[in-house]
Structure 1
Amino acid sequence: MSLRTNPPWEDVQNYINGKWQPPSGDDSQDIINPATGESISSVKFSSSDDVDAAVSAGQEAFEHWRSTPVEERIQPLFEFKQLLEDHQEELAEVLVQEHGKTRAEANGELRRGIENVEVACGIPSMMQAGSLPNAAPDIDETAVRKPLGVFTAITPFNFPGMIPLWFLPYAVATGNAFILKPSEQDPVIAERLFELLEQTGFPDGIVQLVHGSVDTVNTLLDHKGIEGASFVGSTPVARTVYERAATSGKRVQAQGGAKNHIIVTETADLDFAAKKTISSACACGGERCLANDIAVVDEDIYDEFVDQVLEEARAQTVGYGLDDETDIGALITPNHESRVRDLIATGVDEGAELLLDGRDVEVSGYENGNFLGPTVFGDVDPEMTIAQEEIFGPVLGLVSVNNIDEAIDVLNRSDFGNAASLFTDSGADARKVRHKADVGNLGVNAGTAAPMAFFHFGGRKDSFFGDLHAQGEDMIHFYTDKTVYIERWPGN
């Protein structure tokens, strides 16, 4: 089969109990190509009846799926992985048109998602717990992992092809049923993923898709038939999701916002660091929780680093994501573009030096697109708004510090603790940052601290609410609980 890549597309549908059906709620919204401003589809929101139907189907399917041999449970995932690879280019094209990122970024996102499917295929080994013969006289003890029921994930607009795959493969491989509620801003890619999942052999009700907005999310979080919820999005919403789901007695993991820092020491390869700094701050239009949008630079090399950063930033091409020469695509909505512009204006008002202004960028032929060029501030005070708030746009702030200790202090004063990167040739500095930086993902001479799928995706402070993170071994613990089996056979 080939996937539908050329809009306009039909209205987005739910996938419940193995059947495609339109959501039955009253509200809806258009899906807009961020680069052209054109409507490419529409999504109607699900009613509480739709959610009830999905949960009921998931519960019924779970009763058989939980006892299905684990080797059989992972076979559809092997098929899914192959289908994702076979259709990666088509999926990337869909992703560009509804999100705005570049084709290269879309392919990279999908590759990361595929890696999670690969890791989940190893569940037979990862799900093993532990045993201890003769734990007491004539007693053997064994811990056995068991699935729990129906789980949901509420995923964001910025990585709509990857982040659902942080959760879905692990949930179903461990023996649970799963309901995805994707972002209403770019839900077509989720529909395409489920068109592929439909071919893989999962029983009806094991993987389901419901569309909607706030009311749909709240219905899922409050539903007694949902055992746990995963969320990725802004910090205020993550906190609300965490509190609401926990109040309903659910397991919950909620990834929030970020304000990530790059530290550049006097021993760093400045050319390399400048390239990676701009890539980190501006890739995907800066709309990612791993964007390092504050560079904390040793004062001895600050001026030289600024020059190299500006050279790299000016070399970026802003344009339509399907054009091969484009480095930075469109932002998701006009409202979001306006918010980023307001934060740039705030930076100017608060006294930061605007070294490069991306607000006047024009993309010929796409005058209705939501475009911003790379924007660079110098002499940023760590207390300024642009140094404290997540911008989610292609904006970089530069801070000068006296030494590595001051740099770490700037980093740790942030309310967020998602990620950071260090550029250095000093092992002593690297060790100091490793031990003192209060972040969940830390890269050394790597512009973006993105963990591979077999490691969990970290986060601390206001960047994460919960105990168990996405990806890797944490997902096995989140989607299962352990029963301890205590065994004695008198007379043997």
Structure 2
Amino acid sequence: MTTPYIKIKNHINGVWVDESNGQYEPLRNPSTGAVIGEVPLSSPETSRAAVAAAAEAFPAWSATPLPKRMDYIFQMYRAMQDNLEPLAEAIAIDQAKHIAEARGEVGRVIEILQMACTIPALIQGETVQGIANNINGRLIKAPLGVFCGVAPFNFPALVFGWFIPFAIGTGNTFVYKPSTESPLFMQKMMQLMVDVGLPEGVVNIVHGDRETVEAWYDDDNVAGVCLVGSTPTAKAIAEGCGRGGKKTMLLGGAKNFLVAMEDAPMDLMIENILMSGYGSAGQRCLAVSNIAVVPEIYDEFVERLLEASKNISVGDAMDPDVFMGPVISANAKERIENYINIGVEGGATLALDGRNPDIADANKDGYFVGPTVFTDVTPCMQIAREEIFGPVLSVMKVGCIDGALRMIKNHDMGNGAVIFTQNAFYTEKFINEADVGMVGVNVGICAPHPYLPFGGIKGSLVGNNKVQGKDAIDFFTQNKVATVRVVDPRGNKPAEAKPADSSVRSCVAS
């Protein structure tokens, strides 16, 4: 498929605009390495202009009746259903996620939008009647103003779904910065929002680098910032927003564990490891990375994993016959291959080397790393401690479930962990004791359904709020409390409560 040259634009106050400073960087197709377009590197002034547009739109949008706001969300939901294939193709073109997985990502966002249509039930407040004579207490969940969001390259659609529907559904306006490496989905999604009639300035898009984000820290119009990205980036944003007293919802890095017990359903487990570890070329925050296997099945497991991994087909993201596409960039490929070198130098056994995979001639300049498996890995090795963000698996032998739980607890990150077992005791122990934010049993990817919050703990989450579900509602709203005295316009005073007579008191006392 020939892709026309793509010129990415900012979208501010209802208008597609070029970057005024004229600074752009090339947009590449990771499957071929070819330049397919250009992305603006917006100035701080452009970033602040987008915030100003969102701030101007906020009063009218927050006053829009809730059913009307929900109607826009529902129309976005229907528009995504009707345009699933072009939205998925956008992800496969610039992010090089395999087309089947890209369709799955868009499908999950459709589910999130469906869940966002339940905001009226989730945003309900509370009332306490009769806290004093003719006085009632009331709590309402009110919007705050302008929120800004930063997305990573690996899930351009999913992060849109985590942030924007909940923010605007609760009455806020939004400024969104997609990754410069995968901006095409948001261009198409923004146009769909325009097509359904979303008012100008409610959602704005700016593209750029760190300076684009840093412009928000001291902007009084910005109420909060949300991010999915690396832990260092999350901490930097937390520091910058903290100085201005802004709310933050910041999801950081991950190093996910899979624990294989002696009764693990082997066929199911291997199938799930392939999807989790090699799907999206290992570039997902819940990809399995460290695999802890008990001695009873260690040898069989390694043999089966290597056999299955060697049969993984690697190639163009738009080819439905391949299993795994490329990584996002030349820099990512170099970083992953450097970690493979580190693993070898650190004493691990490179049982399957994914460097220089067999690729079709048309994709020789793409950024490909094949399935890679290390064995004889120990928890203190660098490849077991640090996030590689590629199709690299580290297999470790562990004596029992307690040893596996200690490994998980001692790790700096705490995003997700899964266990494969048919034992109810192991299952309940793992759910209760695994020191992570998301747990899975006999699943390779422990991503919660959109009704439930998504996010880790420890180094994987900076702050408290997670995305999706009620956590999202809490983040994008503030609790406003009213104390209301009801006054009788006729001038009658409320009746005073009469003390109970002595007979009643004695009856109660007895």
Give the TM interval when normalised to the shorter protein: over 0.9
State the match for 1:63 in structure 2. 59
CA offsets 1:267-313 (integer angstroms, 9 cap, x no match): 11112112112221111000111011111011111111111111221
State the match for 1:410 in structure 2. 407
| Cα drift, residue 418 of structure 1 | 0.4
| Alignment gaps of 5+ in structure 2 | 488-492, 495-510
| SS of residue paired to 1:52 | helix
1:327 aligns with 2:323: yes
Contact residue 296 and residue 398 of structure 1 kept, 8 A: yes
User: Residues 29-40 of structure 1 correspond to what in structure 2 (within 5 A)?
Assistant: 29-40=25-36
| SS of residue paired to 1:227 | strand
Candidates 446, 450, 474, aligned match of 1:449? 446
Contact residue 55 and residue 226 of structure 1 kept, 8 A: yes
| SS of residue paired to 1:221 | coil
| Cα drift, residue 249 of structure 1 | 1.2
TM-score, reference length from structure 2: 0.94
State the match for 1:368 in structure 2. 365
State the match for 2:503 in structure 1. none
1:439 aligns with 2:420: no
1:388 aligns with 2:385: yes
| Alignment gaps of 5+ in structure 1 | none
Return the alpha-carbon distance in structure 2 between the equivalents of residues 473 and 412 of structure 1. 27
Candidates 72, 82, 86, aligned match of 1:86? 82
Distance 1:427 1:137, change over 3 A: farther
Candidates 148, 155, 171, aligned match of 1:175? 171
| Cα drift, residue 6 of structure 1 | 5.0
CA offsets 1:392-420 (integer angstroms, 9 cap, x no match): 11011100011000011111111000001
| Cα drift, residue 136 of structure 1 | 3.4
User: Residues 151-162 of structure 1 correspond to what in structure 2 (within 5 A)?
Assistant: 151-162=147-158
Distance 1:272 1:139, change over 3 A: same
| SS of residue paired to 2:245 | coil
Contact residue 362 and residue 371 of structure 1 kept, 8 A: no
Candidates 25, 41, 62, aligned match of 2:37? 41
1:304 aligns with 2:300: yes
1:77 aligns with 2:73: yes
Return the alpha-carbon distance in structure 2 between the equivalents of residues 422 and 27 of structure 1. 48
Return the alpha-carbon distance in structure 1 between the equivalents of residues 177 and 124 of structure 2. 30
After TM superposition, which residue ranges in structure 1, 4 or more long, deviate above 4 angstroms?
Answer: none
| Cα drift, residue 112 of structure 1 | 1.5
Amino acid at match of 1:386: I
Contact residue 356 and residue 368 of structure 2 kept, 8 A: no
CA offsets 1:90-139 (integer angstroms, 9 cap, x no match): 11112111011101110111112122211111111111021122233432
Candidates 202, 206, 212, aligned match of 1:210? 206
Amino acid at match of 1:442: V
State the match for 1:27 in structure 2. 23
Contact residue 7 and residue 41 of structure 1 kept, 8 A: no
Amino acid at match of 1:231: L
CA offsets 1:307-331 (integer angstroms, 9 cap, x no match): 1111221221101011111111011
1:188 aligns with 2:184: yes
| SS of residue paired to 2:331 | helix
1:340 aligns with 2:336: yes
Contact residue 24 and residue 44 of structure 1 kept, 8 A: no
| SS of residue paired to 1:163 | helix
Count of aligned residue pairs for this structure pair: 488
Return the alpha-carbon distance in structure 2 between the equivalents of residues 310 and 157 of structure 1. 29
Return the alpha-carbon distance in structure 2 between the equivalents of residues 324 and 52 of structure 1. 42
Return the alpha-carbon distance in structure 1 between the equivalents of residues 172 and 254 of structure 2. 30
1:400 aligns with 2:397: yes
1:465 aligns with 2:469: no
Return the alpha-carbon distance in structure 1 between the equivalents of residues 464 and 48 of structure 2. 28
Amino acid at match of 2:287: A
Return the alpha-carbon distance in structure 1 between the equivalents of residues 486 and 171 of structure 2. 31
State the match for 1:149 in structure 2. 145
Contact residue 292 and residue 397 of structure 2 kept, 8 A: yes
CA offsets 1:146-188 (integer angstroms, 9 cap, x no match): 1010101011001112111100000001001011011111111
CA offsets 1:367-393 (integer angstroms, 9 cap, x no match): 001111101111111111110011111
Return the alpha-carbon distance in structure 1 between the equivalents of residues 352 and 48 of structure 2. 51
Greater shift in the superposed pair: 397-406 or 53-62: 53-62
CA offsets 1:456-489 (integer angstroms, 9 cap, x no match): 1121111110111111111111111111122222
Contact residue 12 and residue 205 of structure 2 kept, 8 A: yes
Contact residue 177 and residue 206 of structure 1 kept, 8 A: yes
| SS of residue paired to 2:27 | strand
| SS of residue paired to 1:267 | coil
Amino acid at match of 1:377: F
Contact residue 109 and residue 158 of structure 2 kept, 8 A: yes
| SS of residue paired to 2:418 | strand
Contact residue 24 and residue 45 of structure 1 kept, 8 A: no
1:474 aligns with 2:471: yes
| SS of residue paired to 1:161 | helix
Contact residue 155 and residue 233 of structure 1 kept, 8 A: yes
Amino acid at match of 1:431: E
Return the alpha-carbon distance in structure 1 between the equivalents of residues 21 and 260 of structure 2. 51
User: Residues 239-250 of structure 1 correspond to what in structure 2 (within 5 A)?
Assistant: 239-250=235-246
Return the alpha-carbon distance in structure 1 between the equivalents of residues 210 and 27 of structure 2. 17
| Cα drift, residue 452 of structure 1 | 1.1
Distance 1:316 1:369, change over 3 A: same
Amino acid at match of 1:189: F
Amino acid at match of 2:75: E
Return the alpha-carbon distance in structure 2 between the equivalents of residues 248 and 6 of structure 1. 47
Return the alpha-carbon distance in structure 1 between the equivalents of residues 64 and 236 of structure 2. 35
State the match for 2:226 in structure 1. 230
Return the alpha-carbon distance in structure 1 between the equivalents of residues 384 and 217 of structure 2. 33
Candidates 88, 95, 114, aligned match of 2:110? 114
CA offsets 1:188-233 (integer angstroms, 9 cap, x no match): 1111110111111211110111111111111123322110000111
